[in-house]
Structure 1
Amino acid sequence: MAKFMGPRFKQCRRLGLNVCGHPKAMDRSTKGTSRADKKLSPYGVQLLEKQRLKAYYGVLEKQFSNYVKKATKDTDPTGYALLKRLECRLDNLVYRLGFANSIRQARQMVVHGHILINNKKVDIPSYSVEIGEVISLKESSRNNLLFKDNFINSLNQYNYLSKDYDNFSGNLLKYPEREEIPILIDEISIVEFYSNH
């Protein structure tokens, strides 16, 4: 599985967005400014937004391009369709439900077989979760204190997800509306980037 291997804090500061989930990732006490702080051309803005969204969801270029192509064929506006597809990835919803404290950790949990969909193991982080599907922690993994504490102590609540604390599970109730997706991104710029290139 290909993944970004560079320094994550540096990547966060360069993109002007906390893409690694660490609370200190955006500490500006270090030297230098983010690329997001500099005056950019329209192309530069589009490119930066694309890089930010890719990094936030941990998706590489080829896979991201495929998401954009599918989004252009959706009946919803392309930018929203793109965000909706990324938001409903299994690794992201494992993170949103609180099983993991970052998307990166959620991806590891999925790959290592800790996560079930409708009681069946799914180890593909990019799996597209459908409405009504139940995401749960494998029975034997519920003894892992890190996973258990993450899930129980997570305070994040999303209108498109429900949590069942007793059964260490969650459910995708509906596809998220644009305003419910908790990421500051200009998806229109990303659509423009791909329509111009």
Structure 2
Amino acid sequence: MARPMGPRFKIARRLGVNVFNHPKALKRGVKNQKLSEYGKQLQEKQKLKGYYGILEKQFRRYVHEALNTRENSGEILVQNLERRLDNLVYRLGFGSTLRQARQMVVHGHILVNGKKIDIPSYRVNIGDAITLMEKSRKNELFIENFQSTSLSIDYLEKDIENFSGKLVKKPSREAVPIDVIDSRIIEFYSKN
């Protein structure tokens, strides 16, 4: 399973946004540069890929799926990325970073509706319950992460007592906490 493994802080500085949600990512100066329209579109695409930690081939599949719908392509793209299991595990607070959440999924610590799912790109449906495995509830790191993270997203419900969360509705574009202009990404791919 491929995943981006490059220098995270350097990428964050180049994009000008802390896409990895790490407190030290933008400590040094942000690189400011004048960009053409193509450069702006490319930068938005790189930001969105950075937020969700996916590579180009998989990202292109998400874009083509969004372009083949009758609804707003940019909104559908962000919704589908937001509903990835590794991302929802991160948003619920099981992992302190997206990379940690992804590793939790791959190592089998997460159940979806009572079944062990170890595929980070698994698309969670509305009403699905995401739970920490019973034996994983003894891990101090998981307990601390989950209990210390407050949830401020309206499309997720969190049950601290049972170490679980639920996707209660489709994520609206405004509720998703990312700084991306998705129309530029759609323009970038509709030319190809």
What is the TM-score with the length of structure 2 in the denominator?
0.97
Matched with 1:18 is 18
- Displacement after TM superposition at 1:2 (Å): 0.8
Q: 2:76 aligns with which of 73, 81, 84?
A: 81
- Displacement after TM superposition at 1:26 (Å): 1.1
Instruction: Give the number of equivalent residue pairs.
Output: 192
Letter in 1 for 2:128: E
Distance in structure 2 (CA, Å) of the matches to 1:130 and 1:62: 23
Matched with 2:49 is 54
Distance in structure 1 (CA, Å) of the matches to 2:112 and 2:70: 27
Matched with 2:112 is 117
Distance in structure 1 (CA, Å) of the matches to 2:36 and 2:185: 14
> Is 1:177 matched up with 2:180?
no
- Displacement after TM superposition at 1:77 (Å): 0.2
- Displacement after TM superposition at 1:15 (Å): 1.3
Matched with 1:4 is 4
Cα contact 2:151–2:158 (8 A) shared by 1: no
- Displacement after TM superposition at 1:21 (Å): 2.0
The within-5 A match list for 1:30-109 is 33-34=30-31, 37-109=32-104
Judge which range, 171-180 or 12-21, deviates more: 12-21
Deviations 1:23-76 (A, max 9, x none): 1111125xxx42xx2110000000010011011100100100000011112232
Distance in structure 2 (CA, Å) of the matches to 1:183 and 1:190: 14
Q: 1:186 aligns with which of 161, 181, 189?
A: 181
SS of the equivalent of 1:170 reads strand
Letter in 1 for 2:97: S
Cα contact 1:161–1:170 (8 A) shared by 2: yes
Letter in 1 for 2:150: L
SS of the equivalent of 1:3 reads coil
* Unmatched tracts of structure 2, length 5 or more: none
SS of the equivalent of 1:178 reads coil
Distance in structure 2 (CA, Å) of the matches to 1:42 and 1:88: 29
Task: Output the aligned Cα RMSD.
Answer: 1.0
User: How many percent of aligned residue pairs carry the same amino acid?
Assistant: 58
- Displacement after TM superposition at 1:11 (Å): 1.1
Letter in 2 for 1:2: A
Distance in structure 1 (CA, Å) of the matches to 2:134 and 2:37: 50
Cα contact 1:117–1:136 (8 A) shared by 2: yes
SS of the equivalent of 2:174 reads helix
Letter in 2 for 1:87: E
SS of the equivalent of 1:180 reads coil
Cα contact 1:21–1:101 (8 A) shared by 2: no
Distance in structure 1 (CA, Å) of the matches to 2:66 and 2:14: 27
Deviations 1:98-131 (A, max 9, x none): 0011111100000000000001000000000000
Distance in structure 1 (CA, Å) of the matches to 2:82 and 2:69: 15
